[in-house]
Amino acid sequence: MGQQMSVSVASVGECMLELSGRGRNWDMGFAGDTFNTLWAIRALLPRDSVTDYVSAFGDDPFSHEQRAFMEGYGIGTAQSPVIAGARPGLYAITLQGAERSFTYWRSDAAARLLASDPEKLGRSLADRSLVYFSGITLAILEPPARRVLFEALRQARSGGALIAFDPNYRPRLWASAETARAAIKEALDLADIALPTYSDEQMLFGDVSPNEAAKRLAGHGVEEIVVKNGSEPAWAAWKLETNAIPAINVTPVDTTGAGDSFNGAYLAARLLGATPFEAAAKAHRVAAAVVQVKGALAPFDVLQAAFAG
C-alpha cells in the first residue's frame, strides 16, 4: 500500500458517551472502538487527509456535543443520519489497577440505526482510500441492517477502497456465538486487512495460537493480517511471509483503547507507505504510549511522538 496524494478514511460504528472516575467525581468524554481507531488515524495522517466517522446520531444536547467534539478535531460525519428523539449510548469505566471494566447503557443508542438509510450509507463509504469497521459495528445492528452494511462495504471495495476489519468479539452483544461466527466470517470475506486480538479469536473460534488464527483468517482470502496479543508479540502475515513483532513492555496506567490505537497507528502507517511489519512496530509504540495515559483517547501529540519514535 503506497502513499496516496489524497487519503480519505471512513470508520463505521458506535461512538458513545464515556464516563470515567469514581465516587461522585466522573468525567465525560466520547469513545468507542472504531472511533478510538479513527482518532489515532486522524492524529497520524497529514492534515489534508479526510477522516469521517460514519454512524447515526441523536438530536439531543449530548449528540450535538458529540458531533461538535468530532468536528473540533477534524473528524467529519459524512452522510450519517441524525435521528429525531434518539441519543447516544453510554458506558462507565471502573479501574482495578490498570485493568478496566465497563458498564453499558446502549440498547436504544442512535448508532444502531447507522444503516437505516442505505443510500446515505453508500455515499458515506464511496470514494475512500480505506474503510474500517469491527465486530462491534456488526453486533449492534439487526440482521437486515447488517446486510445493508455488507452491501455498502462491497460497493466501497469495488470502487477501490481497502476494507479493514477487527472482529473484536464481545459475547454480551451477540444473541449467540453461532450468530457472531457467521457474521464475522461474512465480514472477513470482504476484508483486505484483518486486525484481530488473539484472545477473541481463541474464545470464538478455538484457535490454539496466534499463528493458527492467522492461518484461519488467510483462508477467507484476507491478504494482510496482524493478530494482536496484548503484551506478547503480534503475529503479522503478508505476502506469504509471517513475522512476530515484539510488543513494548511498559507499566500501564489504563489499558483502555490500546488495541484500538494499535489498529489506528497500523492503518495510518500503511496509508503512509510502511510495510505491514514496519506498521506493526509503529503500532506497538503507539499502544505502549496509550496505556500510559488515562482514557481511551490519548492526546494527539502523545500519539504523534510515539508514532515518530
Q: Are 134 and 167 in contact (CB under 8 A)?
A: yes
Whole-angstrom CA distances from 72 to 19, 42, 65 are: 20, 12, 10
What is the percentage of the chain residues whose pLDDT exceeds 90?
85
**So what's the pLDDT on residue 268?**
98
For residue 112, which phi and psi values (nearest 5 degrees)?
-65, -15
Give per-residue pLDDT as tens, 24-54: 788 899 999 999 999 999 999 999 999 999 9
For residue 266, which phi and psi values (nearest 5 degrees)?
-60, -50
**So what's the pLDDT on residue 98?**
59
pLDDT grade for 4, boundaries at 50, 70 and 90: very low
Sequence spans of domains, the chain? 8-15+33-57+75-80+114-308
**So what's the pLDDT on residue 69?**
98
Mean pLDDT for 88-98 is 80
Cα angle: 130, vertex 131, 133; to 5 degrees? 145
Q: What gap in Å lies between CA 172 and CA 187, rounded to an integer?
A: 19
- Compute, in degrees rounded to 10, the torsion defined by CA atoms 251, 253, 255, 260: -90
Give per-residue pLDDT as tens, 59-76: 999 999 999 999 999 999
3-class DSSP state for residue 64?
helix
pLDDT of residue 87 exceeding 60, the answer is yes
Nearest to 222 by CA among 185, 182, 192, 267: 192
Run of H or E residues at 286:
helix 276-290
Say which CATH topology domain 8-15+33-57+75-80+114-308 has: UDP-N-acetylmuramoyl-L-alanine:D-glutamate ligase (3.40.1190)
Instruction: Choose the catalytic residue: 189, 200, 260, 301.
Output: 260
Instruction: Give residue 152's identity as a one-letter amino acid code.
Output: A
3-class DSSP state for residue 175?
coil
Q: Is 260 a catalytic residue?
A: yes
pLDDT of residue 233 exceeding 60, the answer is yes
Mean pLDDT for 226-241 is 95
Residue-by-residue DSSP string for 89-156: -EEEEEEETTEEEEEEE-TT-GGGGTTS-HHHHHHHHTT-SEEEEEHHHHHTS-HHHHHHHHHHHHHH
Burial label, 153 (beta-carbon count in 10 A; 0-12, 13-18, 19+): buried
Mean pLDDT for 186-209 is 98
Give per-residue pLDDT as tens, 132-185: 999 999 999 999 999 999 999 999 999 999 999 999 999 999 999 999 999 999
